[in-house]
Amino acid sequence: MLRLALKRSLRLGPAVSHTPSAAMVVSRGYHERVVDHYNNPRNVGSFDKEDPNVGTGLVGAPACGDVMKLQIKVDEDSGKIVDACFKTFGCGSAIASSSVATEWVKGKQMEEVLTIKNTEIAKHLSLPPVKLHCSMLAEDAIKAAVKDYELKKAKAAPEQE
């Protein structure tokens, strides 16, 4: 119950492209990087799910009712991630974690991004222990996006012959 109350007090609202309302409360628990990602959202948006070069990772944290969508655009020849975007409904830490994740996967190989650990994201954002699972959610979203892309490729491959 305490954890839920803490989450409620730290909750800032959803991440979309509109300017955050004046009602946003910057509680002393938030690191400046988290606030920065909230105020200046990077890579918020959506790719076409049906695009064969797009991998979509959709994950959720039922305990806090968070949903996180992370998409990657992959160059099929090089296997490099050329673009990424996200859409997250959850607390400031979840939004910032997914934002950081999209920044970090850009320009990397798919195998490489699978090694991104939630602890690195958490450290970068100075997340408190109670928010560690937000970074875990971002790590899972990256993995889910890569998995989705590979599944798509595997399905498409026999048709190309």
| Active-site annotation holder among 15, 34, 59, 64 | 64
Q: Is 5 helix (H, G, I), strand (E, B) or coil?
A: helix
Q: Which uninterrupted H or E stretch holds 61?
A: strand 54-61
In the complex with another protein, which residue's Cβ is closer, 56 or 105? 56
**Own/partner pairs, 120-129, CB within 8 angstroms, 24+ separation:** 121/97, 122/97, 124/33, 124/100, 125/31, 125/33, 125/34, 125/37, 125/93, 125/96, 125/97, 125/100, 126/31, 126/33, 126/34, 127/31, 127/34, 127/93, 127/97, 128/29
**Rg of the Cα atoms in the chain:** 16
In the bound state with another protein, the residue whose beta carbon lies nearer, of 83 and 135, is 135
134 as an active site residue: the answer is yes
Choice among 74, 96, 101, 134 that is catalytic? 134
Give the number of other CB atoms < 10 A from CB of residue 39. Answer: 11
CB of 65 to another protein, least distance (A): 3
Min. distance of Cβ 66 from another protein in angstroms?
A: 8
Give the residue with the Cβ less far from another protein, 52 or 65.
65
91 is catalytic: no
Rounded to a whole number of angstroms, the minimum distance from the CB of residue 12 to another protein is 11
Nearer to another protein, 83 or 140 (CB): 140
Residue 83 corresponds to which tokens in the numbers above?
Answer: 């673009």
The CB-of-152 to another protein minimum distance in angstroms stands at 14
Residues at the site binding another protein, with contacts judged by CB under 8 A: 1, 3, 13-14, 16, 58-65, 67, 69, 87, 89, 132-133, 136-137, 140, 144
Q: Residues with catalytic annotation? A: 64, 134
